[in-house]
Homo-oligomer: A and B are copies of this chain.
Amino acid sequence: MALWHGAMNNRGFRQGSFCSFQSSTSDEDLMDIPGTAMDFSMRDDVPPLDRELEEDRSYNGAGIGSGNRMMDFLEEPIPGVGTYDDFNTIDWVREKSRDRDRHREITNKSKESTWALIHSVSDAFSGWLLMLLIGLLSGSLAGVIDISAHWMTDLKEGICTGGFWFNHEHCCWNSDHVTFEDRDKCPEWNSWSQLIISTNEGAFAYIVNYFMYVLWALLFAFLAVSLVKVFAPYACGSGIPEIKTILSGFIIRGYLGKWTLIIKTITLVLAVSSGLSLGKEGPLVHVACCCGNILCHCFNKYRKNEAKRREVLSAAAAAGVSVAFGAPIGGVLFSLEEVSYYFPLKTLWRSFFAALVAAFTLRSINPFGNSRLVLFYVEFHTPWHLFELVPFILLGIFGGLWGALFIRTNIAWCRKRKTTQLGKYPVVEVLIMTAITAILAFPNEYTRMSTSELISELFNDCGLLDSSKLCDYENHFNTSKGSELPDRPAGLGVYSAMWQLVFVVIGGVTRMTVSLVVIMFELTGGLEYIVPLMAAAMTSKWVADALGREGIYDAHIRLNGYPFLEAKEEFAHKTLAMDVMKPRRNDPLLTVLTQDSMTVEDVETIISETTYSGFPVVVSRESQRLVGFVLRRDLIISIENARKRQDGIVSTSIIYFTEHSPPMPPYTPPTLKLRNILDLSPFTVTDLTPMEIVVDIFRKLGLRQCLVTHNGRLLGIITKKDVLKHIAQMANQDPDSILFN
């Protein structure tokens, strides 16, 4: 019973007041109640007789309480114990254990009173409530972003005199002077040349419009980059590599905070409007994850547990993708395939729910004015023919090549930025890019429109009244085939048009995963065309895989040295645990603590002389038999706390990690019992375990470290960082590129 209690404390002690472990059933615990009074009896000024009595009790059966008393004393949550430093890796096993303890306690209590029952039920539903809130918030934000970005994109071309807050389309909707064929020309909408030089004709007007277009783009870009630089550096970039790393169990404080959310939302609008951004799935995932993280603070269950919070963030990522494309199922699959690390089935359901609510909220806001859930709904309904697979497969090959090229160029550019002077002038870089984009984009009708408009245009079935050039193309194509409208090879014209446009769009498309492309296409309603789409996606995947397995996000993670353990790639080398563990062959011996022979001073010396984040505890130096593992942070906090609060703890006090401390001779300082911060079930592997299995264990269980034994004796330790360094080394990369712990 005592052993058991100890172990449960070990797993459960770090919880806050909400879920602190209170046992009141065992005999030992009943003995503890007058414990606080007994603390004083251990001071030096207590008469020898009492002391001896005390020692006897403490060593015999009845005295277990004495040891336990100190455990109880420490069980009051010491602030900081069980939390993590910034830029550190969480221990999934510990976090999940804590949550299970919490859940158990609530379930057990629920039988006691109605209030506790209500608490239990509300606790069970808080996850769904949180999902609802995340869906609502991220859907609303996505709606706001879409509407603002649409308005600001049009602002680059002109302004509505009927109300400056109307975008081009809405401006002309409200107009009476518009014909059906020329829907987007109305007197209320004034291009900048009309406003400035009162005409829209001639070369000078074109130049004015061109100039204004570039000017606005530069202004938006400048605003965006300045906001990020000044207020929230974390709002920079797509965010997905960092979110992947966070979801895998890394702590980056503030990365998903409220400032990041606000600045990211504003700058996303600015960046999209400036014409720079091609894919908004990354930023929207970041925005949704910020929403998720902030909303987590309203729920104890999620605020206090890093593992539970990551479940929520996985779902939030799904909601983000869902609103980016209006594709809830695609969003969930994207989160599952690309972003998430720990994804239990429960999260699958919740992600669906969050993604759905978000998409539904966005639809209610109705930014595209068509009351459809999906941004670009496809209206093809004619069957396809087998020969049409050929252009799809060609498209797939091309897409795969382009994607691999894109990733390489992008990474090379980012590396250059990291290593040369270039990285010092981000504002200048962005402005130059914006200027180039705007100057190149303006003359071409398709590059000038926003990506969503463009894709929508690409996918729409052309009616006979449609004025778009793409449709002209297809109609022309059809005419040459004999003008049989019902039998026309739907989309083939569009594919050919797409072929021409490939240089404009695919850069954007290949940044998403191939799977996402499938899901996105499928969700646009092209269910009939799933076979050709899959064929294209498959070819594209094969081609891209042959050229390099790494996706863009993984490449960025590696470039930045984030401690991310890739779950997809198999570790294919023949090394053993002993080749990776510390200490290396000629290093000094592993730093260990002994369970019952070290003084507070010894331990403090070890702490100050090393930088390890944890220490194995062994039976004795000679036997090297493993007892448990103690974290540096917990050790420091507990010793400091004991020195401050527990009378008589001095440098010569012996630290006990055992269950019972032996009787001490009189006049020796009181002992410090630290079994409650000891992890009594550290993971171990033997020195001959192949690294492929070790990597698998680290991945699947989410370990932070693992101890290495040989024939039952402790030999060394492998941390997640060691594993990552080893993988980098095996892949002929610089092992020191892995940052953080």
Contacts and interface: CB of A to CB of B under 8 A. Distances in A.
Interface stretch (A52-60, A165-173, A681-689): A681-689
Contacts of A328: 530
A7 B690 contact: yes
Given A7-B576, A574-B8, A712-B625, A530 B692 contact: no
B97 A690 contact: yes
B713 A625 contact: yes
Interface stretch (A153-161, A447-455, A483-491, A520-528): A520-528
A656 interface: no
Contacts of A527: 373-374, 523, 525, 527
Contacts of A690: 7-8, 11, 97, 681
Given A534-B352, A682-B686, A684-B684, A692 B97 contact: yes
Contacts of A531: 356, 360, 373
A720 B121 CA distance: 33
A220 interface: no
Nearest to A6: B688
Given A711-B625, A712-B714, A574 B104 contact: yes
Contact of A383 (B348, B371, B518): B371
B576 A4 contact: yes
Interface stretch (A243-251, A404-412, A429-437, A695-703): A695-703
Residue picked from A337, A383, A627, A681, most chain B C-beta under 10 Å: A681
State the oligomeric state as a number of copies: 2
A620 to B, nearest CB: 10
A3 interface: yes
A152 interface: no
A33 to B, nearest CB: 23
Interface in A551-588: 567-568, 570, 572, 574, 576-578
A712 B623 contact: yes
B530 A373 contact: yes
Interface string A322-352: 0000001100000001000000111011001
A100 interface: yes
A129 interface: no
Contacts of A696: 93, 96, 701
Contact of A711 (B97, B627, B697, B700): B627
Contacts of A7: 576, 688-690
A741 interface: no
A476 B360 CA distance: 31
A346 B515 CA distance: 12
Given A373-B530, A625-B712, 7 more contacts: A97-B692, A353-B538, A523-B527, A527-B527, A684-B684, A712-B712, A712-B713
Interface of A: 3-4, 6-8, 10-11, 93, 96-97, 100, 103-104, 107, 328-329, 337, 344-346, 348-349, 352-353, 356, 360, 371-374, 383, 515, 518, 522-523, 525, 527-528, 530-531, 534, 538, 541, 567-568, 570, 572, 574, 576-578, 619, 623-628, 680-682, 684-690, 692-693, 696-697, 700-701, 709, 711-714
5 contacts: A329-B522, A373-B528, A373-B530, A625-B625, A626-B711
